[in-house]
Amino acid sequence: MTFPETRLHHALPLLLICDNLRDPGNLGTILRSAAGAGCSKVLLTKGCVDAWEPKVLRAGMGAHFQVPIINNLDWESVPNYLPPETRVYVADNCGLYAQARISEKASDHGWMCDRQLSKLHKYEEEEEEVLETGAGKGWLPELEVQSYDSDWAEAPAAVVIGGETHGVSLESLQLAEGTGGKRLLIPVVPGVDSLNSAMAASILLFEAKRQLRLRADP
């Protein structure tokens, strides 16, 4: 597929990786935001809804013809579609096991809700299973967490957005760790569960665009 020359001219060294996004409306909205922010490419891992499903097309409002989309990738092949030296950043507000170790009781700080705590417990249970099988410790990447509006976007960069049901995958965390990336936190006030995946993607992509432009025009 060929793309408009003006679109190619405004493309940024910024990629979006969709991790197990199953809601057609969310994916279409995310693709629309990716096109609007100037992403150079969107990668969809296996488990995502088909990008060409009618509901995704409707929500995308033409985004499919503005940004290259690569469907149905397994995590082993994702690095093949990233430019050299790309750092991968994971959007994850769920307070995973690594961050919980930093704070003795993360829920006291207002950034872990009941659903997030249940996800933490799921990772703890999985670690117990791994230890029982003799795989050893350190199986879950311990990525540094930073606020989405602090300085993080360096060219080239990729942002991972996970589905709302299961969140980001272990493979995405491993990829971020291997590329020197981080987990990005969008703080919400206590009592608010989390942001919609499409909203989170839009915030992160346009913040990355802002930061990349600042670096290009000091």
- CATH code of the domain containing 34: 3.40.1280.10
Q: What's the pLDDT at 127?
A: 53
Can you name the residues that pair with 89 across neighbouring β-strands?
Answer: 159
Residue 10, C-beta contacts closer than 8 angstroms, at least 6 positions apart:
38
Q: Is the confidence at residue 171, as pLDDT, over 60?
A: yes
Q: Is residue 102 part of a domain?
A: no
Q: Looking at the chain, how many residues does it have?
A: 218
Could you tell me the pLDDT band of residue 165, with boundaries at 50, 70 and 90? confident
CB 211 within 8 A of CB 151: yes
Q: Is residue 7 part of a domain?
A: no
**pLDDT (average), residues 34-43:** 96
Q: Taking the complete model, does pTM exceed 0.85, yes or no?
A: no
Q: What's the pLDDT at 142?
A: 82
Residue pLDDT, tens place only, 47-73: 999 999 999 999 999 999 999 999 999
Residue pLDDT, tens place only, 177-189: 999 999 999 988 8
Q: Which domain holds residue 152?
A: 13-97+143-184+194-216
| Pure H helices in 84-196 | 97-102, 114-132, 170-178
Q: Is residue 119 part of a domain?
A: no
Radius of gyration of the chain (CA): 17
Q: How many domains does the chain have?
A: 1
Q: Is residue 114 part of a domain?
A: no
Order the strands of the 12-19 sheet from edge to edge: 69-73, 39-45, 12-19, 157-162, 87-91, 183-185, 145-147
Q: What is the mean pLDDT of the chain?
A: 82
Q: Is residue 122 part of a domain?
A: no
Position 28, amino acid: G
CB 210 within 8 A of CB 41: no
* Pair type for strands 157-162 and 69-73: unpaired
Cα 106-146-165 angle, rounded to 5 deg: 65
**pLDDT (average), residues 187-206:** 90
More confident residue, 189 or 26: 26
Q: Please state, in angstroms and as integers, the Cα–Cα distance from residue 61 to each residue in 23, 34, 36, following that order.
A: 16, 12, 11
Q: Is residue 105 part of a domain?
A: no
Q: Is the confidence at residue 80, as pLDDT, over 70?
A: yes
SS3 192: coil
Q: Is residue 60 part of a domain?
A: yes
What is the DSSP-derived secondary structure letter of residue 159? E
Q: Please state, in angstroms and as integers, the Cα–Cα distance from residue 24 to each residue in 2, 50, 59, 169, 187, following that order.
A: 24, 8, 8, 19, 26
Q: Is residue 205 part of a domain?
A: yes
